[in-house]
Amino acid sequence: MENQKQKFNSLALHPLQSWEWGEFREAWGNKVVRLPNFQIIFSKVPFTPFTIGTVIRGPRITKKDIEEVKSIAQKENAIFVKFEPNILYNEKLEEEIEGFGLVKGRRLFTPTSFWIDLTKSEDELLNSFHPKTRYNIRLAEREGVEITEDNSDKAFEKYLELTKETSKRQGFYAHTEKYHRLMWKFLKPSGIAHLLTAKYKGEIITTWILFAFQNFFYYPYGASTDKYKQSLAGSVGKNVMANNLMMWEAIRLGRRLGLKTLDLWGREEGKGFTKFKEGYNPKVVTFIGTWDLPTSILYWPYRLAEEIRWKLLRLISKAWPNRNLVK
């Protein structure tokens, strides 16, 4: 089994295509079908006999893959299979994918992301950052913020606590505690998942989970308290800029692990956290995008229902911006 895992992971392009991620999703209740160089995760459509397949951050799509996936999808009663290849955009490849009968679908990941080159020296990296970012890193150091990798149970419990607090404060949808526990259970022992903590005055105020896979370091999850983020007159506490130092220490950890690129897990125009990431002078990369392979006549009715659902969720979010949306 161990050799099988290693062989599969040697061909996988992303932690979401790793054997361990598949084990986690199976424990979560999904059906996972592994092909030689990627895996399909099937999720049940609630209250129906149907499923939806996803191949997230997989390899370049080939005609042979499509024929095999179609056969598997029929056996799994899938309405469609969604592909988001971990492949950078080029026009010829887009035309090729369209020629396979795939259609552009609703995205799971953002089509662009930020990459930071970890092969550069620390001095080169620091000098490339925005002056305000460098200032904030030094401010956090002067204030005594301490960043450490802490994969202990105690630190992980604090991560869960801060995740709940952050999602409630910011009003976004977050995975459940059970989801995070299962993810950690499978990805921590494999060496994929790493937990960074920021302490101020002995208290953990920020936690990040990062994934190490192949030559990449990824930043998928972060949570913090706002206790030391306020800086406006009359607010409690002061902003000690822990997140700025956290990113810098994540970069340094990636370099120590011998990794070549830090992927900041997405980029969205106009978002505050996008501006934060831009302070580290990352490279903008564009992926080939999101593609659906319809495998049932129910595909287009499903897409219509999906669109209505998301419009309703956006209306709810605007009407109750501070509502706790943890699912």
What pLDDT shows up at residue 269? 85
Whether 19 contacts 5, CB under 8 Å: yes
Q: What whole-number percentage of the chain has pLDDT above 90?
A: 83
The pLDDT confidence band at residue 318, using thresholds 50, 70 and 90, is: low
| CATH code for residues 119-259 | 3.40.630.30
pLDDT per residue over 113-127, tens digit each?
Answer: 999 999 999 999 999
Mean pLDDT of the chain: 92
Same fold for the pair 2-110+287-319 and 119-259 = yes
What pLDDT shows up at residue 169? 78
Which tokens belong to 298? 């129910």
What pLDDT shows up at residue 163? 94
What is the side-by-side order of every strand in the sheet holding 146-149? 146-149, 193-200, 203-213, 216-224, 261-263, 112-117, 283-286
Task: Provide the residue type at 265 as one letter.
Answer: W
Exposed e or buried b for every residue in 172-185, given b needs 16+ CB within 10 A?
eebeeeeebebbbe
More confident residue, 268 or 256: 256
The pLDDT confidence band at residue 229, using thresholds 50, 70 and 90, is: low
Whether 201 contacts 144, CB under 8 Å: yes
Evaluate if residue 297 carries a pLDDT over 80: yes
How many CA atoms lie less than 13 Å away from 2 in the CB half-sphere? 1
What pLDDT shows up at residue 231? 43
- φ, ψ at 92 (rounded to 5°): -65, -40
Residue among 251, 254, 244 at smallest CA distance from 224: 244
Whether 167 contacts 325, CB under 8 Å: yes
Whether 87 contacts 286, CB under 8 Å: no
Helix (H) or strand (E) holding 217: strand 216-224
The pLDDT of 75-99, averaged and rounded, is 97
Q: Look at the alpha carbons of 55, 59, 64, 66 in this order and tell me if their dihedral is positive or negative.
A: positive
Q: Please classify residue 279 by burial: count the beta carbons closer than 10 Å to its beta carbon, then call 0-12 exposed, 13-18 middle and 19+ buried.
A: middle
Helix (H, G, I), strand (E, B) or coil at 225: coil
Best CATH choice for the domain 2-110+287-319 from the list 3.20.20.60, 2.40.30.20, 3.30.1280.10, 3.40.630.30: 3.40.630.30
The pLDDT confidence band at residue 325, using thresholds 50, 70 and 90, is: very low
Whether 82 contacts 105, CB under 8 Å: yes
pLDDT per residue over 88-111, tens digit each?
Answer: 999 999 999 999 999 999 999 999
CA distances from 304 to 52, 202, 244 (A): 15, 51, 41
Which tokens belong to 253? 């950890």
Whether 196 contacts 205, CB under 8 Å: no
Evaluate if residue 237 carries a pLDDT over 70: no
The pLDDT of 212-227, averaged and rounded, is 94
pLDDT per residue over 178-211, tens digit each?
Answer: 999 999 999 999 999 999 999 999 999 999 999 9
Beta bridge partners of 287: 88
As a whole number of Å, the CA-based R_g of the chain is 21
Query: CB neighbours of 229 closer than 8 A, spacing ≥ 6?
Result: 237, 239
Name the DSSP class of 299: H
The pLDDT confidence band at residue 168, using thresholds 50, 70 and 90, is: confident
Domain positions in the chain are 2-110+287-319, 119-259
